[in-house]
Amino acid sequence: MCLSVPGKILSIKGDDPLTRSAKVSFGGTVKDINLAYVPEAKIDDYVIVHVGFALNTIDSEEAEKVFKEIEQIQIMEKKAYEEDIS
Amino acid sequence: MKFIDEYRDAESANAFAREIRRITTKPWTIMEICGGQTHAIVKYGIDELLPKKIRLVHGPGCPVCVTPLESLDRAIQLASRDDVIFCSFGDMLRVPGTSKDLLSVKADGGDVRIVYSPLDALEIAKKNSNKKVVFLAVGFETTAPANAMAAYLAKEQNIKNFSLLVSHVLVPPAMEVILASPNNQVQGFLAAGHVCTVMGYKEYEPIAEKYKIPIIVTGFEPLDILQGLYMCIKQLEEGKKNVENQYSRVVLLDGNPVAKDIIKKVFCTVMRKWRGIGEIPNSGYSLNKDYESFDAEKIFDLQDIVVEEPSECISGLVLQGVKEPSECSAFGKLCTPEHPLGALMVSTEGACAAYYRYKGHGKEDNSMDE
Ligand code: SF4
């Protein structure tokens, strides 16, 4: 029940801070989501959504970090392998 | 889907698994707090990618599983009343109370409705002014901002026929109970990323320091969990005990200040009983004095029956990482998802249900790239 999923903001409605809402797409399924907790969110942002509320916007720069680490691991492994066979 | 598919890539997962195998020299026991993580670990076979020396135990982070029998029995009492429309998240409907569950109340003609968001329950109240609409507000810190907002808006908009039956739980006090237990085996924690999205992770620092244990704020996709484990094992091997944030694309140190503000306006911290574990001081939220008139426990006359769990069920030990579901004599026999004896077999995030589905009994496909 703690399931929270990333979705993309398609459009935003209203400007009352408590009831501002958005149409958010989850891989094609669109739902109305309350934006009270992400006052900075704008169209095209990705948000993490839980029971109808966006809990935060997703930082795409931070999202890349894990892939950079995997790249590092793979470079290191390749180096170790090359040292091994030479 | 962006931010999902790339975090399920099998080749990347294997790279992390190899790196974990490379750095692991000693046996370590690590607990993931959150049931969502438990589900992903068992579903994707992440535990099977790890070296034998690493033991994963599954924590109490499933609100469906830890909601006490008393709360369910109160919910069932309210849902059975003719003047009540009872609203709940879908996964609470099959959790067994003492004698029945909410689904059977519905089958018997009770007006029980599944809602996606607590705001849907508020809408139902606006449309049914002749009925009392009660929302079963369960969850961890992740769900607290949504449930708090329903109470906040009900007061703002003066909706008098709406109330909440609150049984909210908080993660850090439960972690402390596990760590303080003489049976404790946990040496490192993966903290629940979405709980920290709301609350931040400052409150874990004193716990890491006091119990000398690394705590890694971790996301829910296979690569998140593997990276979280990698960070945790690295600290353990190096003798460190810090709080680190693996889930930085979503979690900030201070969490979400707007959400924390609404939670503070609406809730107060209380002693809460956890199913299978017992009472834990300051481990729950209830509505505070300003919101008393929206508190179903205060406005309805509810009888309290003190009840015992079925004696076969060892869910308390499973929730604390002392036993595995398969060590329960009822597992897969007296207790199945069709006929659950304990709550851990009901919720998809419960460890017993995850073991039942993905490890042997009626095993489903668990390939990484789906
Ligand atoms: S298998 Fe069923 S009875 Fe045994 S611990 Fe799990 S929920 Fe309880």
Q: Please give the residue that has the higher pLDDT: either B185 or B97.
A: B185
pLDDT at B339: 86
Q: What are phi and psi of B6, to 5 degrees?
A: -65, -20
- Averaged over B153-160, what is the pLDDT? 96
Give tens-digit pLDDT for B116-148: 999 999 999 999 999 999 999 999 999 999 999
Q: How confident is the prediction for chain A on average, in pLDDT?
A: 90
Give contacts of B150 with chain A, Cβ < 8 Å. none
Kindly provide the ipTM of the predicted complex, given to two decimals. 0.89
Read off the amino acid at residue B142.
T
Whose Cα sits closest to atom 7 in ligand 1? B342
Mutate to test the interface with B, among A21, A47, A49, A55 (most CBs of B within 10 A): A55
Spatial CB neighbours of A4, under 8 Å, sequence gap ≥ 6:
A48, A49, A50, A55, B142, B194, B197, B220
DSSP strand pairing (B215-218 vs B188-192): parallel
Per-residue pLDDT at B211 exceeds 60: yes
Q: Where are the alpha helices (DSSP H) in chain B?
A: 10-23, 35-43, 46-49, 63-66, 69-79, 102-107, 118-127, 144-156, 171-180, 193-199, 205-211, 222-238, 257-266, 296-299, 315-319, 351-358
Give CA separation, B219 vs A4, A53, B342, in Å.
10, 18, 27
Calculate how close chain B gets to A23, using CA atoms only, in Å.
15
Q: B203 with B195: CB under 8 angstroms?
A: no
User: Can you tell me the mean pLDDT for B339-348?
Assistant: 85
How many CB contacts within 8 angstroms connect chain A with chain B? Answer: 128
Q: Which has the minimum average pLDDT: A33-37, B64-68, B255-259, B296-300? A: B64-68
Report pLDDT digits (tens) over B160-183.
Answer: 999 999 999 999 999 999 999 888
pLDDT recorded at residue A82: 86
pLDDT of residue B366: 47
Instruction: Locate the domains of chain B by residue range.
Output: 1-312, 315-357
Residue A15: pLDDT band with limits 50, 70, 90: confident
- What is residue B307's predicted lDDT score, i.e. its pLDDT? 65
| Helix orientation angle between B144-156 and B257-266, rounded to the nearest 10 degrees | 60
CA–CA dist B31, B207 (Å, integer): 15
Cβ distance A66 to B224 less than 8 Å, yes or no, reads: yes
Domain at B1-312, CATH from 3.40.1280.10, 3.40.50.11740, 3.40.50.970, 3.40.50.670: 3.40.50.11740
State which of B13-22, B91-100, B225-234 shows the largest mean pLDDT: B225-234
Round to the nearest angstrom and report the end-to-end CA distance of chain A.
Answer: 53
Its CATH class, for the domain covering A5-85, is mainly beta
Q: What does the mean pLDDT of chain B come to? A: 91
Across the range B101-106, mean pLDDT stands at 94
Residues of chain A contacting B, Cβ within 8 Å: 1-6, 8, 18-19, 26-27, 31, 34, 36-37, 39, 46, 48, 50-53, 55-56, 58-60, 62-63, 65-67, 69-70, 73-74, 77
Which of the four pLDDT bands, split at 50, 70 and 90, describes residue B370? very low
- Give Cα B181 distance to the centre of its chain: 20
Most informative mutation of B314, B333, B348 for ligand 1 (most atoms within 8 A of CB): B314
What pLDDT digit, counting tens, does each position of B34-59 carry?
Answer: 988 998 999 999 999 999 999 999 98
Task: Tell me: pLDDT of A7 over 50.
Answer: yes
3-state secondary structure of B284: strand
Ligand 1 centroid from CA B342, angstroms? 5
> What confidence tens digit (pLDDT) does each residue in A53-83 have?
999 999 988 988 888 888 888 888 888 888 8
Query: pTM here?
Result: 0.90
Lowest-confidence pick of A5-14, B100-109, B183-192, B349-358: B349-358
To test the pocket of ligand 1, the residue of B57, B309, B328 to mutate (highest count of ligand atoms within 8 Å of its CB) is: B328
**Chain B residues inside the 8 Å CB shell of A66:** 7, 223-224, 227, 246
DSSP, collapsed to helix, strand or coil, labels residue B351 as: helix
Please give the DSSP secondary-structure letter assigned to residue B67: S
Higher pLDDT, B225 or B306: B225
Residue entry with tokens 């109160």: B74
Check A2 against B6: CB less than 8 A apart: no
Q: Is the pLDDT of residue B328 over 60?
A: yes
